[in-house]
Amino acid sequence: MSGIQIVAYEPAHQSHIRAIRDAVFMQEQGVSPELEFDGLDPSAMHVLAVVDGEYVGTGRMLDDGHIGRIAILRNYRGLGLGAKVVQALVNEATHLGYPRVYLGAQTHAVDFYAKLGFTPYGDEFMDAGIPHLSMEQSLT
């Protein structure tokens, strides 16, 4: 089984979401657990990427259209899964009638998000010790 699933942050999916984000953000990038798990997950919409029955990627969207926590396990990068995760969230935002979606892109990922239709705005900022740039996409 492979694909993208829109899921709630409930026990059946929570451990997979947390494990992927732990591996990518905390282990690889050194983000603290307090910053990574900010208490907003229960009210967010989540996506899980599945390859051959294994959960390998995730992302979330808050109810104001803020997309974040896009993470793909190292061994599964370069397969287009990150784009599918982001696109699933954008599609859901469109379906829900959101006027726009926005995110804070790590600066190395700005081109990735630009190819998905996001436009940068504002000045570079630091988040969890990592440089970011705000980006948005109008859905109207």
Q: For the whole prediction, is pTM greater than 0.75? A: yes
Residue 74 lies in a domain: yes
Mean pLDDT for the chain overall? 95
Mean pLDDT for the stretch of residues 51-72 = 97
Please report, for residues 49, 55, 113, 121, the alpha-carbon distance to residue 104 in angstroms, rounded to integers and kept in the order given: 21, 24, 10, 10
Rounded distance, CA 63 to CA 125, Å?
Answer: 23
Q: Supply the CATH number for residue 62's domain.
A: 3.40.630.30
Residue 57 lies in a domain: yes
Residue 139 lies in a domain: no
pLDDT of 23 = 98
Q: Which domain, by its residues, includes 51? A: 3-98
Q: Maximum distance among all alpha carbons in the chain?
A: 41
Residue 15 lies in a domain: yes
On the question of pLDDT at 50 being above 70, the answer is yes
Residue 56 phi, psi (nearest 5): -125, -5
Domain count, the chain: 1
pLDDT of 135 = 98
Residue 36 lies in a domain: yes
Band of residue 140 on the pLDDT scale cut at 50, 70, 90:
confident
pLDDT of 1 = 58
Q: What is the pLDDT of residues 83-118, one digit of tens each?
A: 999 999 999 999 999 999 999 999 999 999 999 999
Mean pLDDT for the stretch of residues 3-15 = 95
Residue 126 lies in a domain: no
Scored b (16 or more CB within 10 A) or e, 67-87 reads bbbbbbbeebeeeebbebbbe
Residue 113 lies in a domain: no
Band of residue 2 on the pLDDT scale cut at 50, 70, 90:
confident
Residue 125 lies in a domain: no
